[in-house]
């Protein structure tokens, strides 16, 4: 890695800011043998806020940053907890299970999400038949990233309210 940068995301400024973690995304830069760069993002967007303007502003800041690198022809991979449904059924009444705004992504970026098992569960009750399950963890990748495999590692939420998501990929040399 040649560089890593943390970018602050907007959060609510009212009393709720004391309950929402400082939100940010990090970008790590890796030089590739073909002269391009690989930008690896890590993000965790706000979940339990009601202000949709803040949620939209977080996505816009992330999308704009990623678009700049994708437009330059570099490789972009963004992994994280988007607190929006990446695949499967959305539950819009839950602030952390709204549909992901795919239409707002640059045409050079796409969503890559697992479909084999849920990546998240509701944690207001014990895990079981009445848990809300979904896929809010995954990746956004540039068009020059070939996704070979993506899956949720199903471990029945043993250590968290999330199951791990892994992706194998290849950097395309044709773009």
- Supply the pLDDT for residue 119: 97
- Stronger pLDDT, 68 or 1, i.e. the higher one: 68
- Supply the pLDDT for residue 39: 98
**pLDDT tier at 33 (50, 70, 90 boundaries)?**
very high
- Average pLDDT of the segment spanning 93-119: 94
Tallying the residues shown for the chain, one arrives at: 175
Bridge-based pairing of strands 98-99 and 84-85 is parallel
List the 137-142 sheet strands across, edge first: 3-8, 24-31, 37-44, 75-81, 137-142, 109-112
Residue-wise pLDDT for 55-72, tens only, equals 999 999 999 999 999 999
Across the chain, what does the average pLDDT equal?
A: 92
Structure tokens at 133: 């399950």
Is the pLDDT assigned to residue 85 strictly greater than 60? yes
Per-position DSSP letters for 108-163, written without gaps between them:
TEEEE---SS-SEE--SS-SSTT--EEB-EEEEEETTEEEEEEEE---TTSSSSB-
Distance of alpha carbon 169 from alpha carbon 27, whole angstroms: 18
Is the pLDDT assigned to residue 175 strictly greater than 70? no
């Amino acid at each position: 890695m040649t560089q890593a940068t943390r970018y602050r995301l907007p959060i609510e400024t009212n009393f709720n800011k004391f309950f929402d973690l400082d939100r940010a995304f990090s970008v790590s830069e890796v030089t590739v043998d073909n002269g391009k760069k690989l930008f690896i993002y890590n993000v965790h967007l706000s979940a339990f806020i009601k202000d949709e303007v803040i949620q939209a502003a977080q996505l816009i800041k992330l999308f704009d940053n990623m678009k700049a690198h994708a437009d330059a022809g570099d490789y972009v991979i963004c992994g994280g907890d988007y607190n929006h449904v990446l695949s499967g059924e959305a539950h819009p009444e839950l602030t952390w299970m709204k549909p992901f705004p795919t239409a707002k992504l640059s045409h050079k970026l796409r969503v890559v999400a697992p479909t084999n098992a849920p990546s998240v569960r509701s944690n207001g009750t014990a895990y079981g038949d009445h848990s809300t399950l979904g896929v809010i963890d995954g990746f956004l990748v540039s068009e020059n990233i070939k996704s070979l495999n993506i899956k949720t590692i199903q471990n029945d939420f043993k250590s968290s309210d999330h199951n791990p998501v892994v992706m194998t990929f290849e950097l395309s040399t044709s773009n």
